[in-house]
A and B are shown apart, each in its own frame.
Chain A
Amino acid sequence: MADKILKKLNIKVWRQNKAADKGRFETYTIENISTGSSFLEMLDILNEKLIIEGQDPIAFDHDCREGICGTCSLFINGRAHGPDTEVTTCQLHMRKFKDGETITIEPWRAKSFPVIKDLVVDRTAFEKILYAGGFISVNTGGVPDANAIPIAYEDAEESMDAASCIGCGACVAACKNSSAMLFVAAKVSHLAKLPQGRVEAKKRARSMVAKMDELGFGGCTNTGACEVECPKSISITNIARLNREYLLARFSE
């Protein structure tokens, strides 16, 4: 589809120099953006302008720019990853915006994800949840042949659906309770759906949930906001599975 030019946009963005600073919104204007440009390319252009004018460019996280590394993390016009479905911020294109529009950009807002600078947040809490059990306890070497244990096609597919989580944190940002349930559920399901991961499934669910609570993420009240904003369409049925594993773990205690 032919690209058009957006003549003028107002960019209202969260500025915060350091974690300890208070932070505020600033508004900038930017001109002549192609609708074929990505959202982050638009920010590149704005940053280039700011640098030349002697201002501090807007810090934002990004790396792969193709929707897979999970680094990019912007809250745009009130939505995690902006006004498109099944995309990360870096896959969002300017064709989703109108000429003259004011675009509001914020960082993920959650107690467990403190701001580092501007739009960059600290997601170490996700790592810590995974340290609590998001793995299968095998060492390198001494494992059976890959085809020794057949896995039903559907199980492998369901496991893969859950394993598609990119750890971006949009689910937490979208949730009014800042719950990390979808992220945790995705990991628990990914592994529990496979015979190799079944062995530790209950223990894994219990320790990851306990860690999540300890790190200050909120509880899940089933609003489903996470599923809507998840760029990888991780389904909330995974949360039901996590709850099941968790209950089983409690009963077997």
Chain B
Amino acid sequence: MSILESKIPEGPLAGKWSRHKENIKVVSPANKRKLEVIVVGTGLGGASAAASLAELGYKVKAFCYQDSPRRAHSIAAQGGINAAKNYQNDNDSVFRLFYDTIKGGDYRSREANVYRLAEVSPNIIDQCVAQGVPFGREYGGLLANRTFGGALVSRTFYARGQTGQQLLIGAYQAMNRQISMGNVEMYSRHEMLDVVIIDGKARGIVARDLVTGKIKRFGAHAVVVATGGYSNVFFLSTNAMGSNGSAAWQCYKKGAFFSNPCFVQIHPTCIPVHGEQQSKLTLMSESLRNDGRVWVPKKKEDAEKIRKGEIGPNDIPEEDRDFYLERRYPSYGNLVPRDVASRAAKERCDAGFGVNPEGKAVYLDFKYSIERLGKNVIKARYGNLFQMYEKITDVDPYKEPMMIYPAIHYTMGGTWVDYNLMTTVPGLYSLGEANFSDHGANRLGASALMQGLADGYFVIPYTIGDYLADEILTPKIDTNTPEFEQVEKAVTERIEKLFNIKGTKPVDYFHKKLGHVMWDYVGMSRNEEGLKKAIQMIREIREEFWKDVKIPGELDNLNPELEKAGRVADFFDIGELIAMDALDRNESCGGHFREESVTDDGEAKRNDEKFTYVSCWEYKGEGQEPVLHKEDLVFENVKLTQRSYK
């Protein structure tokens, strides 16, 4: 057996998940009560898992760094959640959602996992409605749908522009119910700093109480990590300020392989960067592309005048507007997938047609849909997004087109997991954005929420039993062991080391510097020379950081700068691995664009012969080169074609 045993069940695709469920082990209710599970992270993935596992009878301890699980980054998801309900009678099906996701991911994900995701997707909507998620409805009282990028059917369910918020509140309420019943112990304002492995199995974590600074040990029979993505390596991203890759990175350092780190998603519709003081980027939901048309001026001199503020967008006559997505991709138009839309925007701006003072913005115009549907309809669909845009930019998007530009948004890469969502460390699981599993090289809009909830509500409650069934004789995990002792010591030493550097520059100085390198050389467009340069530069910044960072405050008190420092220290390492992975993958696929691999008309060119694999990096120790393993991807149900949205 290779170390990369993906445990994909045999047999026809459509029956794999049912057969797997029939074959895996089940734990009796009496034994479940004796088994403890730690869930780190209580976003959609973690909260849904914690609630469902507790309902089954397991004793759950859940952790998040915010003051409440309701504040996890999932709350910010705007547009919607996909499900193959076919409520619209437009010929949607489990197979079509599966196919769209595989194709959208540019054939770099596992067929079996993606099929299961599509298969359980309808149950998610049922579950959410039962919990009281107020999805948008039609006047007849049934659920409404919208269309999202990368799909020709209407299968996206939404709660205004606050879908993530409502789904998270649903999962949070389910978890709160279990907390009130004593089945989940919730540790808010606690940050996991390492995972503890005993005899090769994950047996607990060490965490810092962010209020008191105390380092604490927690034992369990299995550990589930659902700590989200690592977009903040790039400093500016649409992720929350605290989003981080540290927990996944600690798992990596303890033997969990890290897969496809270079698959990072750049979202086409974000509010453009202004100045150097900006701390984060704001997403304008992709759903806006349903009713907004993307354009730049046809004439360079018009673009120049706009940049200087001499004329405005409404001064450009119809015939002088270049609706470049509709022009280049007539069949999908403004609804091409994210990677395609992002690169097309960059192409126009690089060619000199950008419309903000920095030349890094394009228009998203609602004039046409307001004329067609009326202001009230647009307001009902996107009211809160329009309000948000106006509060940030001071421009009224009902009157003037929005300005948008691509930004880092989501990470498809993450901890490698098998079909059971277990990492290469026995008893250690990874869910939600933290794992690599379902989106390949590019995630379709409205599919992250689906995946997080699929993992938490409908996959882990079954698959964890297969492992825990063999643990029923393992007593409560004792945290007074040398293994816990040693992890606690290492964690404490690292914190003290960081704190005692007492250099001259704040953490953000280094984080911004890293972000610039990542965006310039490891961003939307990558090449060998740039990637090599980036690796070198990241190493230099890391060295400078470990010599010169200045962390104020106290160790035994709330200390946001100390928290940030620990996360940024890991971002250097993650950034380096992203660049190494991007260097290895000399093809363009999904969000990963290598300038060396393009078609004659400049579109991304995949290389299936050489790169139809998942990269799986194995940590080999501080200062050592990691080792690359490959999980070959086998496609039995879809034909690999060059993606075309023309």
The residues of A with any CB-CB pair to B shorter than 8 Å are 1-3, 17-18, 34, 36-38, 40-41, 44-45, 47-48, 50-52, 54-57, 59, 61-71, 84, 86-87, 91, 93, 95, 116-117, 120, 122-124, 126-127, 130-132, 134-141, 143-147, 149-153, 156-157, 159-160, 163-164, 166-167, 190-191, 193-194, 196-197
Complex CA–CA separation, A37 to B273 (angstroms): 11
In the bound complex, residues from chain A placing their C-beta under 8 Å from that of B125 are 146
A136 in contact with B132 given A117-B558, A147-B87, A160-B159 (CB within 8 Å):
yes
Which residue of chain A lies nearest to B238 when distances are taken between CB atoms in the complex? A66
Complex CA–CA separation, A164 to B388 (angstroms): 14
The residues of B with any CB-CB pair to A shorter than 8 Å are 48, 51-52, 55, 66-68, 70-73, 75-76, 85, 87, 122-123, 125-132, 134-143, 159-160, 162, 165-166, 169, 173-174, 176-177, 179-180, 186, 188, 211, 240-242, 274-275, 277-280, 282-283, 309, 387-388, 391-395, 457-458, 461, 504-506, 508-509, 550, 552-553, 557-558, 560-561
In the bound complex, residues from chain B placing their C-beta under 8 Å from that of A57 are 552-553, 560-561
Cβ-defined partner of A63 (8 Å) among B85, B138, B141, B240:
B240
Cβ-defined partner of B137 (8 Å) among A1, A48, A140, A153:
A153
Closest 10 CB pairs of A and B: A150-B141, A135-B173, A143-B130, A131-B180, A160-B134, A159-B134, A69-B71, A146-B129, A140-B52, A1-B394
Which residue of chain B lies nearest to A137 when distances are taken between CB atoms in the complex? B177
The answer on a CB contact under 8 Å between B68 and A126 is: yes
Nearest CB on B from A146, distance (A): 4
The answer on a CB contact under 8 Å between B68 and A167 is: yes
In the bound complex, residues from chain A placing their C-beta under 8 Å from that of B165 are 68, 164, 166
The answer on a CB contact under 8 Å between A64 and B135 is: no
The answer on a CB contact under 8 Å between B73 and A131 is: no
The answer on a CB contact under 8 Å between A68 and B75 is: yes
In the bound complex, residues from chain B placing their C-beta under 8 Å from that of A166 are 75, 165
Cβ-defined partner of A131 (8 Å) among B128, B132, B179, B211:
B179
A-B contact pairs, 25 of them (CB 8 A): A17-B557, A38-B392, A40-B279, A51-B561, A52-B504, A57-B552, A63-B240, A64-B75, A68-B75, A86-B387, A95-B394, A116-B558, A135-B131, A137-B177, A138-B131, A140-B51, A141-B458, A146-B125, A150-B142, A153-B139, A156-B134, A156-B135, A160-B166, A166-B75, A167-B71
In the bound complex, residues from chain B placing their C-beta under 8 Å from that of A63 are 66, 71, 73, 240-242
The answer on a CB contact under 8 Å between B280 and A65 is: yes
The answer on a CB contact under 8 Å between A55 and B552 is: yes
Cβ-defined partner of B506 (8 Å) among A18, A52, A138, A163:
A52
Nearest CB on A from B134, distance (A): 4
Nearest CB on B from A139, distance (A): 5
Complex CA–CA separation, A147 to B76 (angstroms): 26
Cβ-defined partner of A194 (8 Å) among B134, B138, B160, B391:
B134
Nearest CB on B from A216, distance (A): 18
By CB atoms of chain B within 10 A, which of A2, A135, A191, A193 has the most? A135
Cβ-defined partner of B508 (8 Å) among A48, A139, A164, A191:
A48
In the bound complex, residues from chain B placing their C-beta under 8 Å from that of A66 are 76, 280, 282-283, 388
The answer on a CB contact under 8 Å between A196 and B131 is: yes
Nearest CB on A from B155, distance (A): 13
A135 in contact with B176 given A51-B561, A91-B392, A167-B70 (CB within 8 Å):
yes
By CB atoms of chain B within 10 A, which of A84, A91, A145 has the most? A145
The answer on a CB contact under 8 Å between A93 and B391 is: yes
The answer on a CB contact under 8 Å between A36 and B141 is: no
A34 in contact with B130 given A116-B558, A150-B141 (CB within 8 Å):
no
Nearest CB on B from A72, distance (A): 10
In the bound complex, residues from chain A placing their C-beta under 8 Å from that of B188 are 124, 127
Which residue of chain B lies nearest to A51 when distances are taken between CB atoms in the complex? B506
Cβ-defined partner of B67 (8 Å) among A17, A61, A150, A197:
A61
Which residue of chain B lies nearest to A194 when distances are taken between CB atoms in the complex? B132
The answer on a CB contact under 8 Å between A138 and B275 is: no
In the bound complex, residues from chain A placing their C-beta under 8 Å from that of B180 are 131-132
Nearest CB on B from A17, distance (A): 7
The answer on a CB contact under 8 Å between B173 and A134 is: yes
The answer on a CB contact under 8 Å between A69 and B137 is: no
The answer on a CB contact under 8 Å between B558 and A120 is: yes
In the bound complex, residues from chain A placing their C-beta under 8 Å from that of B160 are 160
Complex CA–CA separation, A130 to B177 (angstroms): 9
A67 in contact with B388 given A51-B552, A167-B70 (CB within 8 Å):
yes
Kindly list 16 other residue pairs between chains A and B, CB separation below 8 angstroms, not including A41-B278, A116-B211, A191-B132. A61-B67, A63-B73, A64-B241, A69-B70, A69-B75, A69-B76, A71-B67, A91-B388, A124-B188, A127-B188, A143-B126, A146-B129, A146-B135, A152-B141, A166-B75, A193-B134
Cβ-defined partner of B162 (8 Å) among A68, A157, A190:
A68
In the bound complex, residues from chain B placing their C-beta under 8 Å from that of A139 are 52, 55
The answer on a CB contact under 8 Å between A41 and B130 is: no
Cβ-defined partner of B143 (8 Å) among A45, A70, A140, A147:
A147
Complex CA–CA separation, A221 to B367 (angstroms): 46
The answer on a CB contact under 8 Å between B68 and A156 is: no
Complex CA–CA separation, A164 to B275 (angstroms): 32
A151 in contact with B73 given A18-B557, A59-B558, A116-B211 (CB within 8 Å):
no
In the bound complex, residues from chain A placing their C-beta under 8 Å from that of B558 are 59, 116-117, 120
Which residue of chain B lies nearest to A167 when distances are taken between CB atoms in the complex? B70
A64 in contact with B73 given A48-B508, A57-B561 (CB within 8 Å):
yes
Nearest CB on A from B365, distance (A): 19
By CB atoms of chain A within 10 A, which of B70, B135, B557 has the most? B70
Nearest CB on B from A83, distance (A): 13
Complex CA–CA separation, A38 to B141 (angstroms): 40
A117 in contact with B392 given A44-B279, A143-B130 (CB within 8 Å):
no
The answer on a CB contact under 8 Å between A48 and B506 is: yes
Nearest CB on A from B599, distance (A): 37
Cβ-defined partner of A34 (8 Å) among B138, B140, B275, B550:
B275
Nearest CB on B from A92, distance (A): 8
Which residue of chain A lies nearest to B138 when distances are taken between CB atoms in the complex? A153
The answer on a CB contact under 8 Å between B141 and A3 is: no
Complex CA–CA separation, A95 to B274 (angstroms): 15
Complex CA–CA separation, A116 to B125 (angstroms): 39
Nearest CB on A from B313, distance (A): 14
The answer on a CB contact under 8 Å between B557 and A93 is: no
Complex CA–CA separation, A139 to B240 (angstroms): 30
Complex CA–CA separation, A2 to B508 (angstroms): 27
Nearest CB on B from A171, distance (A): 16
In the bound complex, residues from chain B placing their C-beta under 8 Å from that of A37 are 275, 277-278
Complex CA–CA separation, A245 to B254 (angstroms): 53
The answer on a CB contact under 8 Å between B159 and A70 is: no
Nearest CB on A from B585, distance (A): 32
Nearest CB on A from B543, distance (A): 21
The answer on a CB contact under 8 Å between B279 and A41 is: yes
In the bound complex, residues from chain B placing their C-beta under 8 Å from that of A164 are 162, 165
The answer on a CB contact under 8 Å between B275 and A131 is: no
In the bound complex, residues from chain A placing their C-beta under 8 Å from that of B70 are 69-70, 167
Cβ-defined partner of B392 (8 Å) among A62, A93, A138:
A93
Nearest CB on B from A110, distance (A): 15
Nearest CB on B from A233, distance (A): 10
The answer on a CB contact under 8 Å between B66 and A71 is: yes
In the bound complex, residues from chain A placing their C-beta under 8 Å from that of B130 are 136, 138, 143-144, 196
Complex CA–CA separation, A119 to B242 (angstroms): 18
Complex CA–CA separation, A59 to B67 (angstroms): 14
Complex CA–CA separation, A123 to B128 (angstroms): 26
Nearest CB on A from B483, distance (A): 32
In the bound complex, residues from chain A placing their C-beta under 8 Å from that of B458 are 140-141
Nearest CB on A from B410, distance (A): 15
By CB atoms of chain A within 10 A, which of B277, B458, B561 has the most? B277
Cβ-defined partner of B66 (8 Å) among A36, A48, A68, A69:
A69
Complex CA–CA separation, A95 to B76 (angstroms): 25
Nearest CB on B from A160, distance (A): 4
The answer on a CB contact under 8 Å between A65 and B278 is: no
In the bound complex, residues from chain A placing their C-beta under 8 Å from that of B132 are 135-136, 159, 190-191, 194, 196-197
